[in-house]
Structure 1
C-alpha cells in the first residue's frame, strides 16, 4: 500500500492542472540539464488565480496511455483526461476529473475522492482510505509554445501525505513536452523528486522518472484536426 501511495504522489502531478513566459529556449535548457536537476528551479510562483493554460488542440476528452520508460516491461497506465474552458475562457485541465482518473487507475477503490480548493487553482486534496489524505500545491510553473504544434510546461509541486504520525513531504518537478501527432497528442514527461524542505543542504533531485504518453481523442469529444 505504501509503495502505491508514493506512485500516486508522482502520478497525480501529471495532469493537475500560467505565469509569464520564459525566453523561447528556457524550458529546453531545463530539459537539457535533466537528470541533474536541483532547486531552486527557475519557476515563478503562481498566484491563486493562475493556472496551466493549454493550446486549443487539447480541448475535449482523451484516452491517455502512459509508459514508464524506466520500466518498459510494466503494463502501460491507462486513464482519461479532460480539458475545457474555465470561467475566464482559458483552456485548462479539469483538475478533479484528471486527478481522480489517475488515482483510480493506480489505487482503485483506495482513492475515495479528490477535492479542489475553491480559493486556489493550484491546490487539491485527495482523500484515501485509512484516514490518509494527500495535499498537493503547485509552487512553481512556466510554460511556452515554441511552435503551433508544440507545447512545453514545467511545474513544481509540494505534496504532503497526511497519515497517522508525522506528515511526509515531497517536492516533485514535472517537465512535459507535447506535440500534435495527427489527431492524437504525443508527449514525453521528465520528473525529478526532491527531498522535503530543510532535509538536506543541497536540494538535488533524489529520484528521476521518464514517461512517454499518447492522448487519443474519444469519439466526438475533441475537435478534428
Structure 2
C-alpha cells in the first residue's frame, strides 16, 4: 500500500469520530448544497472537548459508505496525492461497524459509560473503534495495526500502520447545526501528518456531514458527507491554492442497527 493510497483513504477517518460550537444558521446546509464550489469554512470555533451527537445516534451501527462524487477544483495545476486513484472507488460501497457511546464529564476528562442513563450525559463517537474499523475496511487488517486516541485530548488520534508508519490526526476546529426535522450537521477541521516516508506529509482536511434520522428502520440514519482537502502552509503550492480546496470527496452514508 503506497503513501498516496493510504492518505487518500485516511481522509474520511474523522467522519465517524466537545462541546457543540454552532455555525451561523443554515451555513453548513448551504455549504453542502454548493458542492463543489467551496472555500475554507470561516465560522468554525476552536475544538474544545469532544463532539456531542444527538441521542438518536447512540448505539452500534453497520455503516455502508459510498463515494458518489469527487472534484479537483484546481486541476490540472494542483492535484492532491491519491485523487486519480480514488476514481476507482466511485459507487463502490464499503461496510464497517461504528458506535456512538455515552459519556460524562469528570475532573480528568471524558468517562465512558456502559449505557444511557439520563439526559445530562452526552453521546460521543467511539473514535478509536470507528477509525480502526474504517481503516481496516479500506486497507486490510494486515496494514492497520491499531488506532490510539489521547485519553486527555479526544481530538488527537494516531493510526499505526505497517511498516512503521503513522497517521496523526488532530481536530482543530468545528461547528454544528441542528433543525427540527431530525437533522444534525457537523463540520470538523483537522490537521493530518503522515510519518513514515523520507519526510512527513501534512495537509488540512474539513469533513462536513449532515445526519438525518429516518422514519423507517432500514436504514435508520442516512448522511451526506463532503470531505475537503486543503494544502498546508509547508506545501510549495499553498499560496497558489489560497483558500480553495485541492480535492473534494462526497459520500453517502447509510446506518443500519
TM-score by length of 1: 0.89
Could you say which residue in structure 1 is the equivalent of 2:35?
Answer: 34
Pairwise CA distance, 1:80: 0.7
- The answer to whether the aligner puts 1:67 opposite 2:66 as a matched pair is yes
Contact residue 18 and residue 142 of structure 1 kept, 8 A: no
Contact residue 60 and residue 99 of structure 2 kept, 8 A: yes
Q: 2:245 aligns with which of 201, 205, 223?
A: 205
1: CA distance, partners of 2:44 / 2:20: 9
Relative to 1, partners in 2 of residues 1:22 and 1:203: Cα closer, same or farther, differing over 3 Å? closer
2: CA distance, partners of 1:129 / 1:17: 31
Relative to 1, partners in 2 of residues 1:192 and 1:118: Cα closer, same or farther, differing over 3 Å? same
Q: Looking at CA atoms only, which structure, 1 or 2, has the larger radius of gyration?
A: 2
Runs of 4+ more than 4 Å apart: 71-74
Aligned residues: CA RMSD: 1.8
1: CA distance, partners of 2:39 / 2:25: 21
2: CA distance, partners of 1:117 / 1:93: 14
- The answer to whether the aligner puts 1:80 opposite 2:112 as a matched pair is no
Deviation digits for residues 63-102 of structure 1 (CA, Å, limit 9, x no counterpart): 0001110257542110011001113321000000000010
2: CA distance, partners of 1:147 / 1:166: 48
**Unpaired runs of at least 5, structure 2:** 70-86, 106-120
Contact residue 99 and residue 126 of structure 2 kept, 8 A: yes
2: CA distance, partners of 1:187 / 1:98: 16
2: CA distance, partners of 1:20 / 1:172: 18
1: CA distance, partners of 2:12 / 2:31: 21
Deviation digits for residues 149-198 of structure 1 (CA, Å, limit 9, x no counterpart): 11100011100001132100011111101111223101110111011124
Pairwise CA distance, 1:17: 9.7
TM-score by length of 2: 0.78
Contact residue 36 and residue 205 of structure 1 kept, 8 A: no
SS across alignment from 2:45: coil
SS across alignment from 2:229: strand
2: CA distance, partners of 1:86 / 1:96: 15
2: CA distance, partners of 1:165 / 1:128: 16
- The answer to whether the aligner puts 1:155 opposite 2:188 as a matched pair is yes
Pairwise CA distance, 1:40: 5.5
1: CA distance, partners of 2:223 / 2:32: 14
Pairwise CA distance, 1:45: 1.0
1: CA distance, partners of 2:170 / 2:40: 17
**Unpaired runs of at least 5, structure 1:** 218-225
Could you say which residue in structure 1 is the equivalent of 2:72?
Answer: none
Q: How many residues align?
A: 215
Pairwise CA distance, 1:139: 1.0
2: CA distance, partners of 1:24 / 1:212: 23
- The answer to whether the aligner puts 1:97 opposite 2:129 as a matched pair is yes
1: CA distance, partners of 2:169 / 2:18: 11
Relative to 1, partners in 2 of residues 1:95 and 1:57: Cα closer, same or farther, differing over 3 Å? same
Q: 1:114 aligns with which of 124, 132, 147?
A: 147
- The answer to whether the aligner puts 1:58 opposite 2:57 as a matched pair is yes
